[in-house]
Amino acid sequence: MAFFRKKKALLNYTAVPTHIAIIMDGNGRWAKKRSLPRTAGHAAGSKKFKEIARYCNKIGIKYLTVYAFSTENWKRPKEEVDTIMNIFRDYLKDSANFKSENIMLKFIGDRSGMPEDIVKLMNNAEYDSKDATGLKCYMAINYGGRDELVHAVRDIVKEGIRETDITEETISSHIYTKDYPDPELIIRPSGEYRLSNFLIWQSAYSEFWFSNVLWPDFTTDDLDRAIEDYNKRNRRFGGI
Ligand code: FPP
């Protein structure tokens, strides 16, 4: 019965967003609730990412951007950072993750700050999945919205673009997400109500959906609910 209800809800989607972005938050609290080390929460969060990406692909979302590691996350204890890096390594080494599921994987963020072997794995994963025609999944690693804008401004200056020629389009075409549309919907679980330096330029007109559920507990039903709520929003883009 529940299955039927869910299918029905899916069929009722009037406008599946083209691009959904997710702040995968709450891994540490999820682990703490279970008396596990925080790192176990990140492992569970990584599994959840795979499940949700697969689901987005199935329901026809074109772009998914997930916040996996911020420019500020280096401040965490070394053991936690090392474990997150190992989770990336394990995920990236298993290239069947993306190829077999027709999901294209790309990365946004500052690669120059990442361990060299991971950068190689990232490049390989991008190359391996480049011909996928399903979901385009962008993982934000060593990403910060302000840092992204600093890099964009530096590139604009380096290219010698004249002050009077600079428009919003100039900025949009110099940020990491230059090849794909802004997210219509940004989801943040775990009961926090902030953007935390994620897609600050791109989110100018995004709809937000918050939930108290911790990321490893997030379900495909939660995603359905977010999309259903999104469909009820009246997006005016500054008009009336
Ligand atoms: C936020 O939760 C989560 C992170 C900073 C790391 C997210 C990393 C993953 C989900 C693993 C990514 C791996 C892949 C392959 C996508 P938190 O640690 O801030 O949780 P808390 O707020 O409860 O402490």
Annotated catalytic, 25? yes
Write out pLDDT tens, residues 144-184: 999 999 999 999 999 999 999 999 999 999 999 999 999 99
Strands 19-23 and 104-108, by their bridges, are: unpaired
CA–centroid distance, residue 4 to ligand 1 (Å):
33
Average pLDDT over residues 214-229: 97
Query: Residue 40's pLDDT is what?
Result: 97
**CB distance 50 to ligand 1 below 6 Å:** no
CA–centroid distance, residue 142 to ligand 1 (Å):
12
Residues 6+ positions from 84 with CB-CB distance below 8 Å = 39, 42, 69, 73
pLDDT band at 1 (very low <50, low <70, confident <90, very high): very low
pLDDT band at 12 (very low <50, low <70, confident <90, very high): low
Residue 162: other Cβ atoms inside 10 A: 6
Q: How far is CA 119 from CA 86, 109, 111, 136, 225, in A?
A: 13, 11, 6, 19, 35
Query: Residue 238's pLDDT is what?
Result: 83
Fold of 19-230: Undecaprenyl pyrophosphate synthetase (3.40.1180)
Average pLDDT, the chain: 93
Residue 41 CA to residue 220 CA, distance in Å, equals: 19
Write out pLDDT tens, residues 97-138: 677 899 999 999 999 999 999 999 999 999 999 999 999 999
Average pLDDT over residues 2-27: 71
**CB distance 24 to ligand 1 below 6 Å:** yes
CA–centroid distance, residue 45 to ligand 1 (Å):
6
| pLDDT > 50? residue 37 | yes
pLDDT band at 95 (very low <50, low <70, confident <90, very high): low
Select which of 12, 25, 82, 128 is catalytic: 25
Residues 6+ positions from 16 with CB-CB distance below 8 Å = 59, 60, 61, 227
CA–centroid distance, residue 191 to ligand 1 (Å):
14
Q: What is the DSSP letter of 219?
A: -
Annotated catalytic, 212? no
Write out pLDDT tens, residues 46-69: 999 999 999 999 999 999 999 999
Residues 6+ positions from 79 with CB-CB distance below 8 Å = 39
Closest CA to 26 of 240, 208, 178, 189: 189
**CB distance 29 to ligand 1 below 6 Å:** yes
**CB distance 68 to ligand 1 below 6 Å:** yes
Q: Cα 171 to chain center, whole Å? A: 20
Residue 116 CA to residue 110 CA, distance in Å, equals: 12
